[in-house]
């Protein structure tokens, strides 16, 4: 079993949420997740644990880049055991899409491509596991999982390419 | 037609001046609020450039400014945040009220302004400026600090307390009898509890009813709803600002975020107009006589805010240095002191110049105390400590006197 690190969470009303992590080596880090999507990475002062010695504000794309560097690659780890090659893609339903306003069943996506539409994201809410009678609207984003070829085929169907 | 031309020219010059002042403030790294107030003073009665044509428009804009300030404040908080904060931090809220509202009330009584003005001035000295403080915390890179949730918690309680205080003040200013005042208070308390309950239980329903994929529709619906509710609240003597605040709390999640982004620029515009309006209605000649009381009040209430922060941070088990930082950060007063003073000007005209001078002092000093209270206080603690023990070493969890939370 791998050891799990303990992260504590504190709400910052009107600002966002703070997550604290104390490493085994004794360093104290905190990450503030701002409501506007920024992340602030702070290192606590060893002399005064209540205060931050350094704080770096990260824009969303910078935070994403940093997280990619920090995450031990779980997919590579999977590859050694199982030959699985799934990709996930977000496919937007645009004005030009032949399926805008039609049902999920009409696409016959799984039968035709082997890839599945596992969720639909709308600006107002997310719909996990949409049923065949789910009606797409312009502006939806479909989350599609499957093989590379399958996902590309779904993208072609939906965008009407 | 001629009136419209004059209106456009006056309004254009005011807003342009505000924009340039705001840029200047940004360059120095200051809150633009004091500059807006000064601009209002310069334009208004007894100022350099009397404005006549645009006065009515600016007065209406100022109303809308207050409503939008509170709406966006409400949008920042979710109902659950408010309730948890109230549960965990209410002793700090009470200490905050006692230490900071009383000096204002006492000052008004000493000046012989009567009990209603005392209640108003108590509010002016009580409420810290969420806007200035949130910005200062970000600028100083302290959002990750342990004392920050404590500071924000005190601000949340103050903002929630406004929902009770403003209706009370409105009732007193309207000269309602005790029975009428209690009825108003009951109505507002009832409304606050109902809104909090609905927002906690059925927040998603409200948000879904308001939500729209089209930003234009969302803007119109939220703005229209807010103005409508604010008007109804005013009609019920509950104060328009509180109505707007409650609308903000009731909206949550995606809708709140979308509405926040859409309305923030509008808020900035109308809030600036509000500060100018407040300056306009204050005659610069009235300020020098109240300068001394304002200065004394500023010094006293700066110290009481430091004490408040110290107490609140100690309850959360934070070391002495963090307590000083929390206290120093809470000093800044700003938009709400002006909102409260703006309501009370009708009853006691002298409260306007006093509040202007007071806020000008504290909005400028606030960011400085946030930065320097800890280093100066530490030196002071060190010299005060007779045994050569370091009183500044933290890592001692809650000290003996603090109550467990």
Interface of A with B in 42-81 (CB under 8 A): 42, 44, 48-52, 54-55
Helices then strands (H, E): number in chain B?
15, 0
CA B144 to chain A, closest CA, distance in angstroms equals 6
Q: Does residue B404 surpass a pLDDT of 70? A: no
Query: What residue has token string 């306009």?
Result: B280
Beta-carbon contacts of B161 under 8 Å, excluding residues fewer than 6 positions away, are B93, B97
Q: Does residue A149 surpass a pLDDT of 60? A: yes
In this structure, of A64-78, B242-256, B293-307, the range with the lowest mean pLDDT score is A64-78
Hey, which residues does A121 pair with through a beta bridge? A126, A141
Domain count, chain B: 1
Give CA B143 to chain center in angstroms.
20
Domain that holds residue B299: 1-382
Contacts with A30 from chain B: Cβ below 8 Å: 144
H or E segment at B241?
helix B240-250
The answer to whether position B390 is within a domain reads no
Beta-carbon contacts of A141 under 8 Å, excluding residues fewer than 6 positions away, are A90, A91, A92, A93, A120, A121, A122
Asked whether the beta carbons of B82 and B196 are under 8 A apart, the reply is: yes
Query: Of B76, B149, B322, which has the smallest distance from its Cβ to A51's Cβ?
Result: B322
Query: What residue has token string 């009990």?
Result: B115
Q: Looking at chain B, which residue has its C-alpha nearest residue A43? A: B144
- The alpha carbon dihedral of B20, B22, B23, B29 has a sign of positive
CA B79 to chain A, closest CA, distance in angstroms equals 10
- Write out the two tokens for A21: 């992590």
Average pLDDT estimate for B228-253: 84
Asked whether the beta carbons of A29 and A44 are under 8 A apart, the reply is: yes
What CATH number did the domain enclosing B136 receive? 1.20.1530.20
Q: How confident is the model at residue A82 (pLDDT cuts 50, 70, 90)?
A: low
Q: What is the mean pLDDT of chain B?
A: 84
The answer to whether position B296 is within a domain reads yes
Buried b (16+ CB within 10 A) or exposed e, B26-57: eeeebbbbbbbbbbbbebbeebeeebebbbee
Contacts with A18 from chain B: Cβ below 8 Å: 143-144, 148-149
Q: CB B8: neighbour CB atoms within 10 A?
A: 12
Q: What are phi and psi of B16, to 5 degrees?
A: -65, -45
pLDDT of residue B175: 76
Looking at residue A103, the DSSP 8-state letter turns out to be B
Q: Does residue A22 surpass a pLDDT of 50? A: yes
The answer to whether position B398 is within a domain reads no
Taking the alpha carbons at both ends of chain B, their separation in whole angstroms is 65
Comparing B104 with B178, the larger pLDDT belongs to B104
Q: What is the pLDDT of residues B166-194, one digit of tens each?
A: 888 888 887 766 677 777 778 777 877 88
Average pLDDT estimate for B339-349: 87
The answer to whether position B185 is within a domain reads yes
């Amino acid at each position: 079993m791998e050891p799990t690190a303990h992260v504590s969470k504190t709400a910052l009303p009107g600002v966002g949420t703070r997550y604290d992590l104390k490493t085994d080596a004794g360093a104290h880090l905190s990450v503030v997740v701002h409501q506007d999507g920024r992340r602030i990475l702070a290192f606590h002062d060893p002399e005064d644990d209540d205060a931050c010695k350094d704080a770096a504000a990260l824009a969303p794309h910078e935070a994403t880049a940093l997280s990619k560097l920090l995450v031990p690659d779980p997919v590579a780890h999977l590859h050694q055991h199982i030959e699985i090659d799934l990709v996930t893609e977000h496919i937007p339903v645009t004005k030009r899409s032949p399926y805008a306003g039609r049902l999920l069943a009409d696409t016959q996506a799984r039968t035709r491509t082997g890839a599945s539409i596992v969720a639909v994201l709308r600006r107002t809410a997310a719909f996990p596991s949409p049923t065949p009678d789910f009606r797409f609207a312009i502006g939806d984003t479909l989350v599609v999982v499957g093989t590379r070829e399958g996902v590309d085929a779904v993208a072609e169907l939906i965008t009407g390419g | 037609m001629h009136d419209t031309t004059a209106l456009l020219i006056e309004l254009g010059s005011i807003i342009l001046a505000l924009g340039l002042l705001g840029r200047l403030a940004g360059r120095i790294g200051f809150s633009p609020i004091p500059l807006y107030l000064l601009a209002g003073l310069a334009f208004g009665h007894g100022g350099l450039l009397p404005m006549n044509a645009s006065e009515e428009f600016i007065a209406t804009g100022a109303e809308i400014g207050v409503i939008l300030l509170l709406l966006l404040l409400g949008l920042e908080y979710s109902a659950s945040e408010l309730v948890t904060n109230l549960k965990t931090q209410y002793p700090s809220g009470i200490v905050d009220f006692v230490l900071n509202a009383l000096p204002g009330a006492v000052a008004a009584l000493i000046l012989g302004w009567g009990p209603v003005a005392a209640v108003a001035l108590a509010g002016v000295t009580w409420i810290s400026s969420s806007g200035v403080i949130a910005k200062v915390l970000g600028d100083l890179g302290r959002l990750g600090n342990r004392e920050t949730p404590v500071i924000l918690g005190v601000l949340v309680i103050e903002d929630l307390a406004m929902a009770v205080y403003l209706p009370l003040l409105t009732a007193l200013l309207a000269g309602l009898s005790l029975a009428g005042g209690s009825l108003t208070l009951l109505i507002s308390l009832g409304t606050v509890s109902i809104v909090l309950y609905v927002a906690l239980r059925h927040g998603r329903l409200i948000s879904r009813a308001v939500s729209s994929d089209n930003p234009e529709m969302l803007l119109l619906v939220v703005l229209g709803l807010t103005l409508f509710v604010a008007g109804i609240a005013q009609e019920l003597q509950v104060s328009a600002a509180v109505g707007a605040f409650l609308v903000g709390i009731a909206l949550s999640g995606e809708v709140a975020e979308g509405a926040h982004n859409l309305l923030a620029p509008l808020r900035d515009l109308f809030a600036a107009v509000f500060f100018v309006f407040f300056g306009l209605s204050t005659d610069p000649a009235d300020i020098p006589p109240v300068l001394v009381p304002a200065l004394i009040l500023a010094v006293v209430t700066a110290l009481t805010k430091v004490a408040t922060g110290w107490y609140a941070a100690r309850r959360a088990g934070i070391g002495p240095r963090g307590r000083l930082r929390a206290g120093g950060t809470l000093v800044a007063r700003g938009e709400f002191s002006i909102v409260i003073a703006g309501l009370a000007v009708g009853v006691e005209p002298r409260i306007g110049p006093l509040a202007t001078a007071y806020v000008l002092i504290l909005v400028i000093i606030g960011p400085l105390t946030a930065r320097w209270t800890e280093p100066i206080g530490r030196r002071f603690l060190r010299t005060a400590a007779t045994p050569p023990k370091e009183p500044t070493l933290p890592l001692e969890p809650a000290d003996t006197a603090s109550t467990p939370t």
